[in-house]
Amino acid sequence: MAKIHELGFEFLPHSPYSLDLAASDYFLFPDLKRMFAGTKFSSNEEVIAETEAYCEAKDKSYYKNGIEKLEGRYNQCITLEGNYVE
């Protein structure tokens, strides 16, 4: 924590889990849900294999853009004093 303060970062209080701020919940999982909608898997292994194939097929820019958009969502959440960000 000392290094974080040394680098000039400030800790901001927030709830331990926030759907609107979790990268997986706002850009990754909804896309997966759409892709797999109506799909019947025969085993957990098949789900894992299909999910891994999906993730590997995405270009690095897909993940980079999603992570970069988090800053705007964080700022919006701060502005709204922690209320849900759509």
Tens-place pLDDT, residues 32-58? 889 999 999 999 999 999 999 998 999
Which among 24, 23, 20 is positioned nearest to 84, based on CA atoms?
A: 20
Give the closest residue to 70 by CA, choosing from 13, 26, 31.
Answer: 26
pLDDT in tens, 1-43: 677 778 887 776 655 556 556 656 667 788 888 999 999 999 9
Per-residue tokens: 39: 């799909």
What CA–CA distance (Å, rounded) separates 60 from 69? 14
C-alpha–C-alpha distance, residues 74 and 71, integer Å: 5
Are the C-beta atoms of 35 and 54 separated by less than 8 Å?
A: yes
Confidence (pTM): 0.57
